[in-house]
Amino acid sequence: MSITLVLGVLTGLGVISLVTGWFEGGDRLIHRVHDIGTGTYAAVLLAPAYLLQTRAPDRRIAAFQQTLLGLAAFVAAMVLAGDFAPEVVISAIVFAVLLGALQLLHPATHQLVHPGRISPPSAVIVALAAVPLIAYAVRMAELQREGLATDPHIVEHHWTTMAALAVGILLTGALAALRTRGWRIPAWCAGLAAVLFGLASVVYPTYAGSAGSAWGTAAMAGGVAFIAVAEWEARRAPTPND
């Protein structure tokens, strides 16, 4: 019950950030893309994977693997940005503890690293997305690492979070391409996260954290294509691993 409560709180915070980010004004106006990105990372890449562990997790191995990759993305962003502020480290520890608890309670621990059957079309999309996503993550980490300590974006660790979002989309997409059991969960999460990030970049092309109109459009197209390929493959040859 306590794990479910914590997950519910984290999900709620992510959803709030994702929704309110589109309408912020005043002092929060400059943070619109960052808050949308934070909400996308929390509510789309992390929350569904964690929450789905509370019911029939043995049928959703990919969802557990997604929680692991979500944490890996955050840690990678921390290291790239050199961002080891107490609140950032504590956040990583909280997710690590949740992950450890879920692993201990998981009914099919022997399957958690079981390889799947790779999907060539999905793998191609992930490979094409890898270069711009990695480049974006490196740039965001650089801004966090080398910016002024008084920069409000640095104070709120927004550059680190945006780097984690980019790495998270890439890793979650790669997981979906591996087609482990329950692979449609990461497929939808990665695709939807790319669409939301791209949409925020198109709507707010000049805001901090935006990838710009052109790359935002590419992110939306890639996200839609990724989901479409996943659904096409699922309907063409449905298996118990869906």
Hey, where are the domains in the chain? 2-236
Residue 30's closest CA among 163, 196, 151, 195? 151
> pLDDT tens for residues 134-147?
999 999 999 999 98
Q: Name the band, by pLDDT with cuts 50, 70 and 90, for residue 29.
A: very high
Q: 177 vs 13, 19, 25, CA distance in Å?
A: 29, 29, 39
pLDDT (mean) for 47-63: 78
Mutual orientation of helices 213-236 and 120-146 as an angle, nearest 10°? 150
Tally the C-alpha atoms within 13 A of residue 130's C-alpha that lie toward its C-beta: 9
pLDDT (mean) for 202-206: 96
Q: Which residues contact 51 (CB under 8 A, 6 or more apart)?
A: 7, 8, 11
Gap between the Cα atoms of 159 and 138, Å rounded: 10
Gap between the Cα atoms of 3 and 51, Å rounded: 10
The mean pLDDT value of the chain amounts to 87
% the chain with pLDDT above 90 = 61
pTM of the model: 0.90
% the chain with pLDDT above 70 = 84
Q: Name the band, by pLDDT with cuts 50, 70 and 90, for residue 14.
A: confident
Q: Name the band, by pLDDT with cuts 50, 70 and 90, for residue 180.
A: confident
> pLDDT tens for residues 69-123?
999 999 999 999 999 999 999 988 888 887 777 666 665 555 555 666 889 999 9
Residue type, 88: V
CB 106 within 8 A of CB 208: no
Question: Residue 48 is encoded by which pair of tokens?
Answer: 């569904």
Gap between the Cα atoms of 11 and 241, Å rounded: 26
Q: Which residue has the higher pLDDT, 167 or 51?
A: 167
CA 120 to chain centre: 22
Q: Name the band, by pLDDT with cuts 50, 70 and 90, for residue 226.
A: very high
Question: Is the pLDDT assigned to residue 238 strictly greater than 70?
Answer: no
